[in-house]
Structure 1
Amino acid sequence: MPIPYFERVHDMIIGKPDVYGKEDIILFEGKRWLPIKLGGRRFGLPLVNVGDNQSKAIAFFIPDPNINYELALASSKEMAGLLEKMKPRIVIKEPSTKSGLFIDTAIAILHKKPQKVIQLIGGESADEVKHITGDVAVAYVPVTRLATGKAKYVGIMPEDRRAIAKLTPDGYGLTIAEDVYSTGATVRATAELLGIEHFYIATIARESEFDSSYPPPLAKNMRAILYLPEILGFEANELYSIADRISIPPAIVFN
């Protein structure tokens, strides 16, 4: 009988942060991949072009157990380790289907649980979000939509807003949990939505340079396992394209 998902993660050891760059990238079957270590295992992440510059690539990181169980398991382990160290009173989950499951697992295996976990509400239009929350909606453009510029919207339920005001009125003890921090658009939209300036970020992968233009200094308030820079200089045909997202394969499991 298979060991339940939660129990398999529980006793794993948290590794140290790793930095990856262009020299680590390999060519496999005509495409570029970035091998990484996560949760004691090795994975290959496909390199994907997400913007107008055809030579720019980011490592495509999708810790969704429905797509790649092993990567989600390793990510849950690492996220649990971050949250154990940060000891948040509130954890905020962004409105992402690919992030939600592995973060839920990470929280479930924590020895000390946060007092509250808040799931933000997402939608394709402001009216869609407002209809659910009865509150404001904030627009943002995620990294996967840089080429089109099409916005998504985020909102919060009124009872969750009240819980934040009660448990973390100054933002201390408030952690936004994400799978990947890239452009920072989602985090900035969340901060605007909540009207807060101080918060922490727990993320598995940090892509490109830290966003130093937005207070608070995210490099100081962010905890990440992987640092994955944006890469320039590859041929377009060596990269997968976000415009053809359905063709992007899941991460390769090496061992």
Structure 2
Amino acid sequence: MPGIISCYPARLLFPILLVSLTLACSDARGPRRTSPDVSLPEDVGPDANADADAELDTDAELDADADADTDTDAELDTDADTGPDDFISPEARRLYELIIAYRAEHDLGAIPLSPSLSLVASIHVADLNAHPEITDDECNLHSWSDQGDWTPCCYTPDHTRAECMWQKPGELSIYPGLGYEISAMSTRMTPESALSLWQGSPGHNAVILNQEGWTQPWQAIGVGIAGDYAHVWFGHEPDPLR
């Protein structure tokens, strides 16, 4: 198994597991699927990302025994007459509960589960499962295909298309604020493994625990997980549907 390829920031590639790390390396040694951590717009908070040298234990085994919905062929019907929680799957709710329990261990309060941000997360999960090729080159897991009713983009490590992330909640839902996403990809994705991967990446862990550049309290969280991907969205504005 290949070792960790470290740089500042770092990336990690190994055969059955690819993880979105704090920032992708700037070298050009071939295709990558790692993605940068979320960044802050200048008018929201610090203009520096929550950067850190992230190293994961490549020898650790992930618990992938949970029953997960891996039907990636089903299309997400966002036009049907749906209720506010219809896009929150049992696996997504489980991941939400794990995140809230983890925050409680650090004396942090619960974040209201947002139907709007969960819709965005579910659509992004469905998009990447249907079009994984969009992350074959320098585009990371925050990228979107051109196969849907949204603005497509290749999200690169230099954050030049950061607004593609921030503005997705406004494009796809009634959520009134900007959105910030953490992402992970694995061929054995479960709620437990997704959280474990983010806990092992200092930049992502800081987003979850309101640390470093992310101290402003979250007022909404949305969760999507299916197939090979997990996305969690955070926002500073309450969801009107809640």
TM-score by length of 2: 0.26
Relative to total residues, which structure has the larger strand share, 1 or 2? 1
TM-score by length of 1: 0.25
